[in-house]
Every structure is written in C-alpha cells, then in structure tokens.
C-alpha cells in the first residue's frame, strides 16, 4: 500500500506554510525517510497521513483512496504509529500496551496474547520476562522496541515513525536501527520515517526525502543523493558521505592478497589444491591455474581429498576487473570470510579477505579524517 501526497499544503494561521505544495509518492513496501532541519515540516507531513493534522490543501491517498474518505479513528487504527518518547502508557504492562489497538478492534484474548508473544520474539524479548513488566521497568532501548512492536501489533500495511530512536544513546540506537532493517526486510511494510539524523536516514532509507521550510527539495535513494545532490544545501546536508561513498582504491588488485600460496597437494589427475595466506579456504586449480572449485573445509588425511565438497569456483569468485565497491559489498553481505580473485582467463590470482577490506577502508577513513 503506497502513500501519495498530491500538492499538499498545511498552513497555520499567521505563519508561513508548514508544508508547501508537497507531492511525493511512497511506494508500497518502501521505507521512506523524511529529513530536514527542524521546522522543515517533516513531522507535520507525517502527522497528516494519519490525520493528526489536516492538510489545508491538496490530497493524501493511501492505496489510491483519499484519506479524507476514512473515519479518522478507523484510519488511525489501520496505521502503525511510533514516536520518539515511546508514548507507552506507564500504567499498562508491556503486553497491555502492545495489545491496546487489537483490544480496541475487539480481538479475542487468545489471539492478542499470541500476537504479543510473536512480536516480542521478533526482537528477542522473552515473553515470560517482559510481557508483564511496566514501561518504567525497562531500559530505554527496550521501551523503544516495545513502542515499535505496538505499531506493528495489528500488522498494519503502513507504519509512521516519528524519530523513534531519537532519545536513545548511540549504541542502542544503532542496535535498534539494525533490528528495524532486519524486520523491514522480512515484513516489507510501507514505512514513513521522520528523523533529523542523516546517518540514520542513510542507514535505513530505501529513499530519502529532504525537506526545508515546508518544501520538498529532493527525493532519491541514498546513493542518488550522494552522487547527484541537486544543490549545495543538499550536498552540505549529506556532506560527509561524499568522501566515503567513493571507493578508496581503484581496483581489486590494490587490496588483494597474493602472498604465501601454499600448495597442499598435487592431484594425480592433474591440478592442485592451494591455500593462500593461511585463510581457511581451499582452492582447486587445474594445470593452467584455472579455478575449478572452492571448499571451506578439507579432511585431514590426504587419501580423503576425493570426498571434498567443492563449490563451483565461478559462482563465488571475484574478477580482477570488478569494481572495488562491489567487492566490499560482497564481503560484507556474504557468509565467506574471503573470496578468490581470478583474471580474465579464470586463473586464480589471489584472494580478497574481510580483513584486507577493513584495513583498506580504515586506511581511507584515516586519510579522510586527516
């Protein structure tokens, strides 16, 4: 379910427009971050979606239907809402807080409790330990988790989040951001997320809308904003990502390891098994040096080499000519600690490891800081 703003304006008496002629479409399943300096209209924009504020002009529609045509109460019950100060009711337990809207919607008790259990499990909070605690018996991070769970309680397709992690210490904030990303990858909600923290926006946003003085300046993926900021204000706003977004090296060779190739065994049928730099990966290459297979473990006894479970080398290898960006990304995302590098003839020429990637990136960071 997408959310669409068409020429939306919000005026308060005697002030310049809080939101001015805003048109923006949030795609279904997308996490859209609204960001900008304070007073830019991002929170007002968010609050118009569940009609906590009524627009002065223009229309907002959810899944193609004008929200004006809904009863505000019903509309809000169908949209998740999480805010910075958690808004958890202090006189209700974690369970009662999460079940508030399900209860208003007259879910029966069994279904409500099952849902609470399921939600708490999603964020690794034990039902037995936490369900019957009061908000004040929780840490800030736990409270905020419950605040997010409450927004998810009825499994609404659209969720609004107004700086939900703003009041947390940096460490908890990062933990919760990671958790939200993981949840979002699984649940694919349409999320409108307000923040003033550009790091948070870059980390979470599928797309980011930058607002200033009630105007939408630019909307795009984090990458688009970094590469093609529309003007100086935006470039400055997202400024320090510019340097980091460029790969600190030009080619894979610059952080590939080639030294200490250890030949483990010559194979009677031709080819050999080698290991590079003591990384626990074994490569099977033929007589021309072409990579045939990769294995994460090999048996002790030399006579058992035939039983090794080889992965096709082409499937996991990195080409010398690949962009370093892409290789860093693969090292970060894939299970393997290291990836083999091959040249144009598919010959094994070295490996890239997470360690070498980190060393390269941290070197670049030091250069940036200096």
Residue numbers of the site for other proteins (CB under 8 A)? Answer: 47, 50, 52, 72-79, 81, 83-93, 100-101, 104, 124-125, 129, 134-137, 139-142, 150, 160, 171-172
Minimum CB–partner distance for residue 37 and other proteins (Å): 22
Q: Which is nearer to other proteins, 72 or 239 (CB)?
A: 72
Q: Which is nearer to other proteins, 78 or 289 (CB)?
A: 78
Minimum CB–partner distance for residue 272 and other proteins (Å): 49
Minimum CB–partner distance for residue 1 and other proteins (Å): 17
Q: Which is nearer to other proteins, 104 or 263 (CB)?
A: 104
Minimum CB–partner distance for residue 139 and other proteins (Å): 5
Q: Which is nearer to other proteins, 89 or 263 (CB)?
A: 89
Structure tokens, 175: 């933990």
Instruction: Please state the three-class secondary structure of the chain as a single string.
Output: CCEEEEEEEECCCCCCCCEEEEEEEECCCCEEEEECCCCCCHHHHHHHHCCCCCCCEEEEEECCEEHHHCCHHHHHHCEEEEECCCCCCCCCCHHHHHCHHHHHCCCCHHHHHHHHHHHHHHCCCCHHHHCCCCHHHCCHHHHHHHHHHHHHCCCCCEEEEECCCCCCCHHHHHHHHHHHHHHHHHHCCEEEEEECCHHHHHHHCCEEEEEECCEEEEEECHHHHHHCCCCHHHHHHCCCHHHHHCCCCCCHHHHCECCCEEEEEECCCCCEEEEECCCCCEEEECCCCEEEEEECCCCCCHHHHHHCCCEEHHHHCEECCCCHHHHHHHHHHCCCCEEEEECCCCEEEEEEEHHHHHHHHHHHHHHHHC
Q: Which is nearer to other proteins, 149 or 256 (CB)?
A: 149
Minimum CB–partner distance for residue 30 and other proteins (Å): 21
Minimum CB–partner distance for residue 173 and other proteins (Å): 12
Q: Lay out the sheet containing 318-319: strands in order across.
A: 318-319, 338-342, 348-353
CA distance 113 to 78: 19
Could you count the other beta carbons within 10 Å of the beta carbon of residue 161? 25
Q: Which is nearer to other proteins, 137 or 188 (CB)?
A: 137
Q: Which is nearer to other proteins, 50 or 360 (CB)?
A: 50
Q: Which is nearer to other proteins, 60 or 349 (CB)?
A: 60
Task: State in Å, rounded, how far the first CA of the chain is from the last one.
Answer: 46
Minimum CB–partner distance for residue 334 and other proteins (Å): 29
Minimum CB–partner distance for residue 248 and other proteins (Å): 34
Q: Which is nearer to other proteins, 112 or 207 (CB)?
A: 112
Minimum CB–partner distance for residue 5 and other proteins (Å): 18
């Amino acid at each position: 379910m997408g959310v669409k703003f068409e020429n939306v304006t919000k005026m308060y008496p005697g002030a310049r427009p809080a939101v001015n002629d805003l048109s923006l479409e949030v795609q279904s399943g997308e996490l859209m971050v609204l960001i900008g300096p304070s007073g830019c209209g991002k929170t007002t924009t968010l609050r118009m979606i569940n009609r906590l504020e009524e627009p002065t002009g223009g229309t907002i529609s959810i899944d193609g239907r004008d929200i004006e045509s809904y009863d505000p109460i019903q509309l809000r019950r169908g949209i998740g809402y999480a805010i910075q100060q958690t808004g958890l009711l202090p006189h209700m337990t974690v369970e009662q807080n999460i079940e508030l809207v399900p209860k208003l919607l007259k879910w029966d008790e069994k279904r409500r409790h099952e849902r609470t259990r399921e939600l708490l499990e999603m964020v690794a909070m034990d039902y037995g330990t936490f369900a019957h605690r009061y908000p004040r018996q929780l840490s800030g991070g736990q409270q905020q988790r419950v605040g997010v769970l409450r927004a998810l309680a009825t499994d609404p397709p659209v969720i609004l989040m107004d700086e939900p992690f703003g009041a947390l210490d940096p460490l908890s904030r990062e933990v919760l951001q990671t958790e939200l990303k993981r949840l979002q990858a699984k649940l694919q909600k349409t999320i409108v997320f307000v923040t003033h923290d550009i790091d948070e926006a870059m980390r979470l946003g599928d797309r980011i809308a930058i607002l200033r003085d009630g105007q939408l300046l630019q909307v795009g993926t984090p990458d688009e904003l970094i590469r093609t900021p529309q003007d100086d204000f935006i470039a400055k706003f997202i400024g320090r990502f510019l340097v980091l977004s460029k790969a600190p090296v030009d080619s894979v060779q610059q952080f590939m390891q080639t030294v200490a190739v250890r030949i483990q065994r010559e194979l009677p049928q031709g080819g050999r098994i080698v290991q590079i730099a003591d990384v626990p990966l074994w490569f099977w290459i033929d007589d021309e040096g072409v990579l045939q297979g990769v294995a994460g473990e090999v048996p002790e006894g030399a006579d058992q080499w035939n039983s090794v479970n080889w992965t096709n080398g082409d499937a996991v290898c990195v080409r010398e000519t690949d962009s370093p960006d892409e290789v860093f990304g693969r090292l970060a995302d894939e299970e393997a600690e290291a990836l083999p590098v091959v040249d144009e003839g598919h010959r094994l020429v070295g490996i890239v490891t997470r360690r070498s990637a980190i060393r390269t990136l941290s070197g670049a960071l030091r250069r940036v800081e200096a």
